[in-house]
Copies of this chain bind each other. A is one copy, B any other.
């Protein structure tokens, strides 16, 4: 499918990328061996690109009580619930790599209740899904239930903020119709 469009919107000519965006894209290409299509698509809007990835990094790359694999579990579970093809496939790949597990991402994307996860992770995903789908019904009892599994206030914020950030990301990817790179489908399955 090498000829299929990257997005419903045209993507900018790399020659037109601002320097900081070029740098970020080259770095991810060097690390991954390819450029995920979300970078190419959002480059059309440099300010939004910068804010998007600054937000992403603030939630997904910083130290904290949630492991990096757990953060990706939140992304995959909520993106599955939002039927976001790009995010399920791209973050499914990252989750397989981070968790060193070739099956976990598919389990979580389809039905996290059947996934090979700990009770703590189950509580994390229950809270993340409620944030994603019925945030107006979140109450103190939900937060207490998460804390009963050992999560701190900071962890709870992290879970909610990641679910919320991908609520945005899923909607963007769905409307822009960002195509998952072919590479993602096979990554981490070995």
Measured CB to CB, the residues of A under 8 A from B are 1, 4, 8-9, 44-45, 47-48, 50-52, 54-55, 57-59, 62, 80, 82-85, 88-89, 92, 102-103, 106-107, 109-111, 113-114, 116, 131-132, 135-140, 143, 153, 157, 160-161, 163-165, 167-172, 174-177, 179, 182, 185-186, 189
CB distance from A27 to the nearest CB of B (A): 18
Residue pair A103, B185 in contact (C-beta under 8 Å): yes
Known: A85-B107, A174-B136, A174-B138. A55 touches B58 (CB 8 A): no
Q: Do B157 and A4 touch across chains, with their CB atoms under 8 A apart?
A: no
For A80, the chain B residues whose CB sits under 8 A away are: 110
> A114 vs B92: C-alpha distance in the bound complex, in angstroms?
17
**B110 and A84 within 8 A (CB):** yes
Is A185 touching B102 in the complex (CB atoms < 8 A)? yes
Query: Cβ of A103 and Cβ of B55 under 8 Å apart?
Result: no
**Cβ of A131 and Cβ of B171 under 8 Å apart?**
yes
Q: Decide: B59 and A85 in contact? CB cutoff 8 A.
A: no
A83 touches B110 (CB 8 A): yes
